Chains A and B, each alone.
Chain A
């Protein structure tokens, strides 16, 4: 059987779309030609005849290239990356952040976890655990996954969009920690002490990473995976 993907790639080589967008178009059109070819073969046509009938689907590849370019870009104000990754990621980040004050406002306050310091230290660390927030985060992860999937996101994009808030917190910590001395200098009193504990003490740093990156990340991931599983289950096989 001919390599339809390669054939379409060669004929639409000048299609000036974003690489991922172009790849989608090539795969889709190649699939269509393959279906025509297979249909003709099933009806008893020879390979040459089936090939000829499939190629008759397009008489002017340059014209098709031009039409596809305009139909996919003219009215398009957002790139596929924006709709599949950045928008869902931004939504999950905003929703997850807004949930914190909203939950407190409705009376679901955080719990406090007390841990005693090691190495003979008499210090006690207090960690804030947003239980209700963590329990609702799977829904946010599922929302991110849904938005990304709806826009045609890949599995990787869906997972990244759904867990984006945790990744963003992680990135912020990664950026903040090297500048902790400078940042700490700008704080006063209790805030400076708290910041020092967070960034310097092993328990403090662990608490921040676990509380804002690892646990929320796991919670978001559960939501994304649950949504992906549900979406796959609901998906009807293509006819």
Chain B
């Protein structure tokens, strides 16, 4: 079973990566992550917002209320300079983890 720390790390990297292309509101973040991972990674309201709020507390993302053309108020999140700096080391950590797991499974198969 994947631990909560690993899940949280994946979620943070996914959100940071998706926000790298521009400001988005919560629903759109979830929709784009699902779309870009062909449904392999899905965020529900319950899994998305606690992570988003924690990232905001850490200063990685910043949420501001904006009004769309149809008059709906939505909180749009954008990366802060701290958040931008976090993407690269997080990607590095995750690729190292996946490489290590791949090596491990290769050894186990051999």
Residues of B within 8 A of A (CB): 23-28, 30, 44-46, 48-51, 53-54, 57-58, 62-69, 72-76
- Alpha-carbon distance between A200 and B50 when the two chains are bound, in angstroms: 59
* Count of CB-CB pairs between chains A and B under 8 Å: 84
Q: Are B24 and A68 in contact (CB under 8 A)?
A: no
0/1 string, A50-70, CB within 8 A of B gives 1: 000000111110011001101
Interface residues on A, range: 20 to 34
B82 to chain A, nearest CB (A): 13
Main secondary structure of the interface of A (DSSP, over half): helix
Q: Are B26 and A149 in contact (CB under 8 A)?
A: no
Q: Which residue of A lies closest to B80 (CB)?
A: A150
**A residues 26-72 touching B (CB-CB < 8 Å):** 27-29, 31-33, 35-36, 56-60, 63-64, 67-68, 70-72
Q: Are A75 and B64 in contact (CB under 8 A)?
A: no
**Do A31 and B57 form a contact, CB below 8 Å, given A60-B46, A149-B64, A235-B66?**
no
Q: Which residue of B lies closest to A236 (CB)?
A: B23
Residues of A within 8 A of B76 (CB): 238
Residues of A within 8 A of B (CB): 24-25, 27-29, 31-33, 35-36, 56-60, 63-64, 67-68, 70-72, 74-76, 149-150, 152, 235-239
Residues of B within 8 A of A68 (CB): 49-50, 53
Q: Are A57 and B64 in contact (CB under 8 A)?
A: no
Residues of A within 8 A of B26 (CB): 28, 31-32
Residues of A within 8 A of B58 (CB): 75
**Do A238 and B74 form a contact, CB below 8 Å, given A29-B49, A60-B46, A71-B57?**
yes
- Alpha-carbon distance between A201 and B14 when the two chains are bound, in angstroms: 67
Q: Are B45 and A72 in contact (CB under 8 A)?
A: no
Q: Are A28 and B75 in contact (CB under 8 A)?
A: yes
Q: Are B69 and A237 in contact (CB under 8 A)?
A: yes
Residues of B within 8 A of A27 (CB): 73
> A35-B27, A75-B54 known; 17 other A-B pairs, CB under 8 Å?
A24-B65, A27-B73, A31-B27, A32-B49, A36-B45, A57-B44, A57-B45, A57-B46, A60-B46, A64-B49, A68-B53, A70-B50, A71-B53, A75-B58, A237-B67, A238-B72, A238-B76
